[in-house]
Chains A and B, each alone.
Chain A
Amino acid sequence: MSQQTGHYYVPAPSTYPIIGSTALLFMGFGAALTMNKMELGYGLLAIGFAILIYMCFRWFGTVAAESESGKYGLDVDKSFRWGMTWFIFSEVMFFAAFFGALFYMRVLSIPWLAEESQVLGQSFWGAYEGGWPTTGPGEHAAFTPMGAWGLPAINTLILLTSGVTVTYAHWALKEGRRDALKKWMLATVFLGALFLGLQGYEYVHAYNDLNLRLDTGAYGSTFFMLTGFHGFHVTLGTIMLLVIYFRCAAGHFTPERHFGFEGVAWYWHFVDVVWLGLFIFVYLM
Chain B
Amino acid sequence: MAAVHGDVHGHGHDDHHPTGIMRWVTTTNHKDIGTMYLWFSLAMFFTGGFLAMGIRAELFQPGIQILEPELFNSFTTLHGLIMVFGAIMPAFVGFANWQIPMMVGAPDMAFARMNNWSFWLLIPAALLLISSFFVPGGAAAGGWTFYPPLSTQGGLGVDMMLFAVHILGASSIMGSINIITTVLNMRAPGMTLMKMPLFVWTWLITAYLLVLAMPVLAGVVTMLITDRHFGTSFFNAAGGGDPVLFQHIFWFFGHPEVYIMILPAFGIVSEIIPTFSRKPLFGYSSMVYATASIAILSCIVWAHHMFTSGMPTVGQLFFMYATMLIAVPTGVKVFNWTATMWKGEMTFETPMLFAIGFIFLFVIGGFSGVICAIVPIDIQVQDTYYVIAHFHYVLVSGALFALFGGAYYWLPKWTGHMYDETLGKWHFWLSMIFFNMAFFVQHFLGLAGMPRRIPDYALQFADFNMISSLGAFGFGLTQLLFVYIVIKCIRSKEPAPEKPWDGAKTLEWTHLPTPAPYHSFETPPVVK
Residues of chain A whose beta carbon lies under 8 Å from any beta carbon of chain B: 1, 6-8, 10-18, 20-22, 24-25, 28-29, 31-33, 35-36, 38, 59, 75, 78-79, 82-83, 86-87, 89-98, 100-101, 104-105, 108-110, 112-113, 124-125, 134-140, 213-215, 217-221, 224-225
Do A138 and B177 touch (CB < 8 A)? no
Contact with A along B124-149 (1 / 0, CB 8 A): 11011000000000000000000000
Do B26 and A15 touch (CB < 8 A)? yes
Contact with A along B111-125 (1 / 0, CB 8 A): 111101101110111
B248: nearest residue on chain A (CB-CB)? A104
Chain A min CB distance to B91 (Å): 20
Chain A min CB distance to B4 (Å): 14
Do B181 and A36 touch (CB < 8 A)? no
Do B27 and A13 touch (CB < 8 A)? yes
Q: With a CB–CB cut-off of 8 A, which chain A residues contact B166?
A: 28
Do A220 and B232 touch (CB < 8 A)? yes
Partner of A78, one of B25, B159, B185, B249: B185
Residues of B236-252 at the interface with A, using a CB-CB cut-off of 8 Å, are 236-242, 244-245, 248-249, 252
Do B121 and A109 touch (CB < 8 A)? no
Do B180 and A86 touch (CB < 8 A)? yes
Partner of A89, one of B211, B223, B225: B211
Do B113 and A11 touch (CB < 8 A)? yes
Partner of A83, one of B110, B120, B213: B110
Q: With a CB–CB cut-off of 8 A, which chain B residues contact A224?
A: 232
Do A217 and B113 touch (CB < 8 A)? no
Residues of chain B whose beta carbon lies under 8 Å from any beta carbon of chain A: 16-18, 22-23, 25-28, 106-108, 110-114, 116-117, 119-121, 123-125, 127-128, 155-156, 159-160, 162-164, 166-167, 170, 173, 176-178, 180-181, 184-186, 189, 211-216, 218-220, 222-223, 225-226, 228-234, 236-242, 244-245, 248-249, 252, 522-524
Q: With a CB–CB cut-off of 8 A, which chain A residues contact B160?
A: 28-29, 32
Q: A136 with B167: in contact, given A14-B28, A35-B228, A225-B232 (CB under 8 Å)? A: no
Do A105 and B219 touch (CB < 8 A)? no
Chain A min CB distance to B37 (Å): 14
Do A90 and B215 touch (CB < 8 A)? yes
Instruction: State in angstroms the CA–CA spacing of A97 and B226 once bound together.
Output: 14
Q: With a CB–CB cut-off of 8 A, which chain A residues contact B181?
A: 79, 82-83, 86
Q: With a CB–CB cut-off of 8 A, which chain B residues contact A95?
A: 219
Q: A136 with B233: in contact, given A10-B112, A11-B112, A97-B219 (CB under 8 Å)? A: yes
Instruction: State in angstroms the CA–CA spacing of A74 and B498 once bound together.
Output: 35
Do B121 and A24 touch (CB < 8 A)? yes
| Apart from A97-B216, A98-B223: 17 A-B pairs, beta carbons within 8 A | A8-B108, A12-B16, A15-B26, A21-B117, A21-B121, A28-B167, A31-B159, A33-B156, A83-B110, A83-B178, A83-B181, A90-B212, A93-B219, A137-B238, A138-B233, A138-B238, A217-B239
Instruction: State in angstroms the CA–CA spacing of A113 and B243 once bound together.
Output: 12
Do A28 and B249 touch (CB < 8 A)? no
Instruction: State in angstroms the CA–CA spacing of A196 and B519 once bound together.
Output: 47
What are 11 A-B interface contacts by the 8 Å CB criterion? A28-B160, A83-B178, A87-B173, A97-B220, A101-B245, A104-B242, A105-B240, A105-B241, A136-B240, A137-B238, A214-B230
Instruction: State in angstroms the CA–CA spacing of A200 and B114 once bound together.
Output: 34
Instruction: State in angstroms the CA–CA spacing of A224 and B232 once bound together.
Output: 9
- Contacts between chains A and B (CB distance < 8 A), count: 233
Chain B min CB distance to A93 (Å): 4
Do A218 and B239 touch (CB < 8 A)? yes
Do B28 and A13 touch (CB < 8 A)? yes
Do A17 and B241 touch (CB < 8 A)? no
8 nearest CB pairs, A to B: A138-B238, A97-B219, A215-B231, A136-B240, A218-B240, A17-B117, A221-B232, A13-B26
Q: With a CB–CB cut-off of 8 A, which chain A residues contact B23?
A: 13
Do A18 and B226 touch (CB < 8 A)? no
Q: A13 with B220: in contact, given A21-B124, A24-B167, A101-B245 (CB under 8 Å)? A: no
Q: A136 with B211: in contact, given A98-B219, A104-B245 (CB under 8 Å)? A: no
Most chain A CB inside 10 Å of its own CB: which residue of B178, B223, B225, B239 = B239
Instruction: State in angstroms the CA–CA spacing of A213 and B231 once bound together.
Output: 9
Most chain B CB inside 10 Å of its own CB: which residue of A90, A97, A100 = A90
Instruction: State in angstroms the CA–CA spacing of A24 and B128 once bound together.
Output: 11
Instruction: State in angstroms the CA–CA spacing of A11 and B218 once bound together.
Output: 30
Instruction: State in angstroms the CA–CA spacing of A155 and B16 once bound together.
Output: 53
Q: With a CB–CB cut-off of 8 A, which chain A residues contact B238?
A: 136-139, 217
Do B223 and A101 touch (CB < 8 A)? yes
Q: With a CB–CB cut-off of 8 A, which chain B residues contact A135?
A: 239-240
Partner of B120, one of A21, A78, A98, A217: A21
Do B215 and A91 touch (CB < 8 A)? yes
Do A28 and B216 touch (CB < 8 A)? no
Do B242 and A109 touch (CB < 8 A)? yes
Do A32 and B128 touch (CB < 8 A)? yes
Instruction: State in angstroms the CA–CA spacing of A139 and B240 once bound together.
Output: 11
Instruction: State in angstroms the CA–CA spacing of A11 and B159 once bound together.
Output: 36
Do B245 and A25 touch (CB < 8 A)? no
A16: nearest residue on chain B (CB-CB)? B113
Most chain A CB inside 10 Å of its own CB: which residue of B17, B216, B218, B237 = B237
Instruction: State in angstroms the CA–CA spacing of A197 and B67 once bound together.
Output: 54
Do B25 and A18 touch (CB < 8 A)? yes
Q: With a CB–CB cut-off of 8 A, which chain B residues contact A36?
A: 155-156, 159
Do B232 and A214 touch (CB < 8 A)? yes
Do B128 and A94 touch (CB < 8 A)? no
Q: With a CB–CB cut-off of 8 A, which chain A residues contact B107?
A: 7-8, 10
Do A90 and B211 touch (CB < 8 A)? yes
B22: nearest residue on chain A (CB-CB)? A13
Partner of A113, one of B18, B167, B237: B237
Do A31 and B163 touch (CB < 8 A)? yes
Q: A101 with B234: in contact, given A93-B215, A136-B241 (CB under 8 Å)? A: yes
Instruction: State in angstroms the CA–CA spacing of A156 and B170 once bound together.
Output: 30
Chain A min CB distance to B318 (Å): 15
Instruction: State in angstroms the CA–CA spacing of A35 and B240 once bound together.
Output: 24
Most chain B CB inside 10 Å of its own CB: which residue of A13, A28, A139 = A13
A87: nearest residue on chain B (CB-CB)? B177
Q: A136 with B159: in contact, given A10-B112, A25-B127 (CB under 8 Å)? A: no
Q: A35 with B225: in contact, given A86-B180, A109-B241 (CB under 8 Å)? A: yes
